[in-house]
Structure 1
Amino acid sequence: MENKKCTKCGSVEFTDATDYMPVKPNKMSLKGSNKIYTFCLNCGEVDSIRIENVTIFKK
């Protein structure tokens, strides 16, 4: 992880995790992509949320 500081508690320990439900272009789509959360290990404040594979959303 890059050097960053939690805006809530000041900790510098962060990790990444994924959600169990992928983001899909529409409700009928079979393809999806994981959401990746970066959050503080001390207080749980979420620093960022990003989509792992954005190419499935491009037309």
Structure 2
Amino acid sequence: MENKICSSCGSTNFQEATDYIPLKPSKGSFHSAQKVFSFCMDCGIVDAIRIENTEIFQNKE
């Protein structure tokens, strides 16, 4: 992970974690994408949220 500086506390101690509920394009979809959160370990501020596997959200024509 690149050297980030927390905008709230100035720490450089960041970690990434995923949410337990994946994103789905629709209720009936079997495909899903994980949300990856990058956050400061010292104060808990979320720096970024990244969605993996974004191609499942593109319209199939």
Q: Which has the larger radius of gyration?
A: 2
| 1:10-53 superposed Cα distances (whole Å, 9 cap, x missing partner) | 00010100000000111221211100000001011000001011
Which segments of 5 or more consecutive residues in structure 1 lack a partner in the other structure? none
- Structure-1 separation of matches of 2:11 and 2:27: 38
Query: Would you say how many aligned residue pairs link Structure 1 and Structure 2?
Result: 59
Specify the SS of the correspondent of 2:56.
helix
CA distance in 1, matches of 2:26, 2:6: 34
The runs of 5 or more residues in structure 2 that have no matched partner are: none
Tell me, in whole angstroms, the C-alpha distance in 2 between the residues paired with 1:41 and 1:11.
8
Q: Secondary structure at the match of 1:42?
A: coil
Query: Which structure 1 residue ranges, 4+ long, deviate > 2 Å from structure 2?
Result: none
RMSD: 0.7
Instruction: Give secondary structure in 2 for the equivalent of 1:29.
Output: coil
TM-score where L is the length of structure 1: 0.93
Segment drifting more, 27-36 vs 12-21 = 27-36
